[in-house]
Structure 1
Amino acid sequence: MSDYFSLHQDKIINSTIVLVVFFVLQLIIGIIVRAIGKSKKIFTSRAKIVARYFSVSLFLITLLIIAFIFGVNIDDLVVVFSSVFAVIGLALFASWSILSNVTSGIILFFSFPYKIGDKIKIHDKELEITAIIEDIRSFQIHLRTDNGNLVTYPNNMLLQKAVTLIEKDAFDK
């Protein structure tokens, strides 16, 4: 066992450094996302979801770097990743709207000018919706209409339609 550690000491030290950098970056990204959420007065639960997306992406990159450190052949990784991406691609093609809504949810977190409690009007040819934003989730936004109905509207559609702010912080009134 000690022979293994002495033989692979450099790889173990480099992997440890990569893991420490991973945890530090994860902490920094979490702090930045929470700070952005706080500055835009976004609920912490939304900030945690977005931070989790970044953490998973960073974790996958870390695994890739550690694989390179331990000398995994690039050709082997290409085969593994192409197989995995083929399966994921088929799954996401079958549920393309889910991926689109998750991506839109991340975009809404950073650039959506309205927040929970604002009364908005969504201009759609088929259906114009005037409602108060009740919750913004990963896949959809929850809107409460004046007559009390709950409308769930997909995030990707919200980015495609014109939205007008009618009243700021309608919950507070």
Structure 2
Amino acid sequence: MSEQNIQILETLLILVLYTVVFFVIKNIVNNTLKKAQLQRARRKLIIKAIHLFLSIALVVLLAGIWGLEQKEIAVFASTIMTVLGIAFFAQWSLLSNVTSSLILFFNHPLKMGDTIKILDKEYPIEGEIAELTYFFVYIKTKNGEIITVPNSLIFQKSVSIIEAQEEKVIE
């Protein structure tokens, strides 16, 4: 068997293993989070994050199989870490909104359906959280307006939860 045939076989094996591992982890995480009674939207976000990390691992493994040297793989990994580091400190970038959404998701009591007030002297915003995404929080005011607020702004400002929506498990 030639070296290229071995690489193709290893690639196919890694892709099959990746698929199996992803679906096993997805089912385990989904079942665990259902027992913890998290909303479906939050479960989906966690599964997307797991998919991202598994995909990065897949790219690194495939790069190793196809002959990239450890130095080149290390450059790739350090580039990803640099981008994440910049995202934590760059307040107005799109990356800061994505990282803020992850921090808000895991460490903030906000959830869809809550009525909140963003405590800002110049532009106070009050309304119900209609949707939480990677970049924005959509707030529906009493007047029926939908206001998009960047996640990084929610992360930086004080937020008052006026009325918390009871969390329900949605199958």
TM-score by length of 1: 0.69
152, 158, 164: which one pairs with 1:162?
158
Q: Which has the higher contact order (CA 8 A, sep 6+)?
A: 2
Please state how far the C-alpha of 1:75 moved relative to its aligned partner. Answer: 4.0
Q: 1:58 to 1:113 in 2, by over 3 A?
A: same
Gap regions ≥5 residues in structure 2: 167-171
Alpha-carbon RMSD across the aligned residues, in angstroms, is: 3.6
Q: 1:77 to 1:167 in 2, by over 3 A?
A: closer
Between Structure 1 and Structure 2, whose CA radius of gyration is higher? 1
Structure with greater helix percent: 1
Q: 1:28 to 1:160 in 2, by over 3 A?
A: farther
Counterpart position of 1:115: 111
Deviations 1:22-67 (A, max 9, x none): 22432244331674377354243x5434423431332122121232
The number of residues matched between the two structures is 159
6, 21, 24: which one pairs with 1:25?
21
61, 64, 67: which one pairs with 1:68?
64
Q: 1:24 to 1:108 in 2, by over 3 A?
A: farther
Q: 1:150 to 1:118 in 2, by over 3 A?
A: same
- Residue 39 of structure 1 aligns with an amino acid whose one-letter code is A
Kindly report which structure 2 residues correspond to 1:70-149, keeping only aligned pairs within 5 A, or say none: 70-77=66-73, 81=76, 97-149=93-145
Deviations 1:60-95 (A, max 9, x none): 22121232234432345467x39x87xx89xx8x99
Counterpart position of 2:33: 36
Gap regions ≥5 residues in structure 1: none
- Are 2:128 and 2:141, in contact at CA under 8 Å, matched by a contact in 1? yes
- Are 2:112 and 2:130, in contact at CA under 8 Å, matched by a contact in 1? yes
- The sequence identity of aligned pairs, in percent, is 32
2, 5, 10: which one pairs with 1:4?
2
Counterpart position of 1:153: 149
Q: 1:153 to 1:19 in 2, by over 3 A?
A: same
Aligned partners of 1:37 and 1:139: how far apart in 2? Answer: 25
- Residue 30 of structure 1 aligns with an amino acid whose one-letter code is K
